[in-house]
Amino acid sequence: MTFLGQALQWFLDGSHWQGDFGIPNRLFEHLTMSGISLLAAAVIALPIGITLGHFGRGGNLAINVSNVGRAIPSFAILVLAVQLVGIGALPAFLALVALGVPPILTNSYVGMREVDPEVREAATGMGMRQRLILWRIELPIALPLIMAGVRTSAVNIVATATLAALVAWGGLGRFIVDGLSQRDYAQLFAGALLVALLSTAVELGLAAAQRLATPEGLRIQKYPLEAEVVPTPQAMIA
């Protein structure tokens, strides 16, 4: 097919690999923006989720924040951020952080709550102090779920960073947005391919990290399968 040939030509064109508008720099922008946003989201969400989970308070808040987050379109968050702070890198960053917080918060809360109370009691019986129980018992057991939340956030952030090209910021989404507006389908397709590869690589890499983070005694199956649960609507309104 000639079209795929054009897409291949686009990749082979040396000028697409150099300078500020080249693939390496766009990839760098995409990864830096995603990384910083994820870090900021984790710094905000982890302490809240872990604290709420440790004390078993605010469960409705911790769980509903994800459901509310899901209901707000990420595209709308991005455009709203532009209205608040103007175009460029800042609205992209703010939108990505807002998007990254809910999954980490919810998962760290649920992870802490899922720690078997008997394990906690046994630790208390052995004379461990609260702080030690948190660091040596609860967090290691909760780590796989916490990592699952980080992974969900990371994938969401990398995906939405693509949309950020709309608010006059770079990243790999630039090729898609420019390809669309210029009807340059080779560029559009090539950009989409790059984004798809990056997202899949991030997902697979973090899945491996999640497996490594799982304490050996908790590794039961290769693909832990969990249904996403949703709260009752009463809880959601309340």
The residues that touch other proteins, with contacts defined as CB under 8 A, are 3, 59, 63, 67, 70-76, 79-80, 82-83, 86-87, 110, 155, 158-160, 162-163, 166-168, 173, 176-177, 179-181, 185, 188-189, 191-193, 195-196, 199-200, 203, 223, 225-233, 236-237
Instruction: Kindly state the smallest distance separating residue 195's Cβ from other proteins, in Å.
Output: 4
Task: Provide, rounded to whole angstroms, the least separation between the CB of residue 110 and other proteins.
Answer: 8
> 5-20 in b/e burial notation, b at 16+ Cβ within 10 A?
eebeebeeeeebeeee
Query: How many C-beta atoms lie closer than 10 Å to residue 58's C-beta?
Result: 16
CB of 29 vs other proteins, minimal distance in Å? 15
Residue located via tokens 């802490």: 112
Complex with other proteins: residue 141 or 188, whichever CB lies closer: 188
Contacts of 165 (CB under 8 A, 6+ apart): 171, 173, 174, 176, 177, 178
Shortest approach of other proteins to residue 48 CB, angstroms?
Answer: 18
Of 123 and 166, nearer to other proteins (C-beta) is 166
Q: What would the 3-class secondary structure string for 94-159 be?
A: HHHHHHHHHHHHHHHHHHHHCCCHHHHHHHHHCCCCHHHHHHHHHHHHHHHHHHHHHHHHHHHHHH
Nearer to other proteins, 58 or 59 (CB): 59
Q: Which is nearer to other proteins, 14 or 71 (CB)?
A: 71
Contacts of 81 (CB under 8 A, 6+ apart): 90, 91, 92, 94, 95, 98, 167
CA dist 4 and 15 (Å) reads 19
For the bound state, the minimum distance from the C-beta of residue 107 to other proteins, rounded and expressed in Å, comes to 13
HSE of 215 in the Cβ direction (CA atoms, 13 Å)?
11
Q: Least distance from C-beta 126 to other proteins, angstroms?
A: 29
**126 vs 120: CA distance, rounded Å:** 10
- Please, which residue, 123 or 156, has the CB nearer to other proteins? 156
Q: Which is nearer to other proteins, 48 or 92 (CB)?
A: 92
Phi-psi region of 229 (alpha: psi -120 to 50; beta: other; left: phi over 0): beta
Considering the complex, what minimum distance in angstroms separates the CB of residue 128 from other proteins? 27
- Cβ closer to other proteins: 35 or 86? 86
